[in-house]
Amino acid sequence: MSILDVISLFGGLALFLYGMRLMGDSLKENASGTLKIVMEKVTDNSIKAFLLGMAVTALIQSSTATIVITSGLVAAGILTLHQSLGIIIGANVGTTVTGQIIRLLDVDSSGFLRFFQPSTLAPAALMIGIVLIMSHRKAAGNIAVGFGVLFTGLLNMTSAVRALQESGLIEGLMAGLGDNPFVGYLTGAGVAFALQSSSATIGILQAFSATGLLTFKAIYSVIVGIYLGDCVTTAIVCSIGANREAKRVGIVNILFNLSETVLVLVVITLLHQLGALDGLWNQTVNSGMIANTNTIFNLACAISLLPAVGVYEKLSGKIVKEEKKSAGKYDEVLHALSPVFFDSPALALRSCYDTLLTMLKISRENLRKAQEQLNHYSAERKEEIQSEELQVDRLMDKPEPVYGGASDASSERSACGHPESVL
């Protein structure tokens, strides 16, 4: 083992994360308007909401992004908490699509299938992306480049891991994970929390599978731990500057993932004790098996726990108590200026449009009252005009009370008076 191998490993990880972020952000930026329209039409049917969450996450390659957008829609009053529950569960299943893409590492290198290997797809995607960008189709080009960079980073990680295998360090690490599932669980949770992405953590695990040292007993607890680490990150993001309902979205996500981890660990332990997993327990896993295990865990738990969404809704209400009624007359409009919309221009502009429209209605009504004052002065009407004028000023310049302690910088960026912050 040399320092160059370590640098290559972390360099590959950096490329992998950047490629995933570039591809996901480009998809989200150009599809956010469509996502808004589709999400607004979600009904109280949990199955439809589940399928929507799964499809959206498969598209933008990030369950965190889907849940954060959903949290913002709930904060803005576009969705109810109940409508968001199915989307949250679907998002956790949709994020497994990334692992299924990465499993292309296992594609047989013979014949036509060779074109689907990452070593071929990566340069092809990069070339297509550059051509599209030079042809002034930046959005589609960035998606293709992101895909190519993602696989280039994955190939670098796989190559570095194989080099590190000779040192015996990885062998000892993987043996430790297999002997102590609790350590594997904490490892998965810690890495997912640090990287803020379950897909990226699964991808790293798939890269390590190239050593041929990973067994099912070593990876199942790591995969389950990843669910917890990723959902904690999502809940933190959902809670920043959010109102009560938006915070409950993050809490529901944590409750679901905790239920998922408990369910998987209990079922796997029981099956192992009964001897049902004897043929699989010590079997060496590859990238495809890791992707399938992740998908099966998530899909089985989603089907099992989807009927319990009402329980999660009630528990979130007990954990996040009702807020005291604010004296602000237009707090609901201000809540729509949620910081979670900063990365989704269509949603951010929609919130600003609604706020500006409210300001216009108030100002027009005040103008009418002012004209009446010229003919028939009223002290009561004067107070009404002044009160409404203060509300207009508040909508324009003072969102701090809504965000509950957000930094001054974040608050200033949230005001409609600073439209460049949401573009």
User: What is the structure's pLDDT at 284?
Assistant: 86
Residue 150 · residue 19 · CB < 8 Å: yes
Q: How confident is the prediction for the chain on average, in pLDDT?
A: 75
Average of pLDDT values for 369-375? 86
User: What is the structure's pLDDT at 240?
Assistant: 59
109-140, pLDDT tens digit by residue?
Answer: 555 666 767 777 788 889 998 998 898 888 78
For residue 215, the SS3 value is strand
The structure tokens 């990680």 sit at 157
Average of pLDDT values for 311-329? 72
Query: CA-CA distance, 183 to 93, in Å (whole number)?
Result: 25
DSSP secondary structure string for all residues of 222-251: HHHHHHHHHHHHHHHHHHTT--HHHHHHHH
End-to-end CA distance of the chain: 46
Predicted confidence band at 175 (pLDDT cuts at 50, 70, 90)? Answer: low
pLDDT for 409 beyond 80 = no
Query: CA-CA distance, 356 to 169, in Å (whole number)?
Result: 60
User: What is the structure's pLDDT at 26?
Assistant: 74
Query: CA-CA distance, 318 to 115, in Å (whole number)?
Result: 53
- The structure tokens listed for 48 are 């439809």
User: What is the structure's pLDDT at 402?
Assistant: 41
14-66, pLDDT tens digit by residue?
Answer: 887 788 778 767 766 665 556 666 666 665 677 888 888 888 888 776 777 77
Kindly provide the b/e burial profile for residues 92-105, where b requires at least 16 CB atoms within 10 angstroms of the residue's own CB: bbbbbbbbbbbbbb
Rounded to 5 degrees, what are φ and ψ at 102? -65, -25
Q: What is the largest CA-CA distance in the chain?
A: 92
**Who wins on pLDDT, 104 or 372?**
372
| 284 bridge partner residues | 215
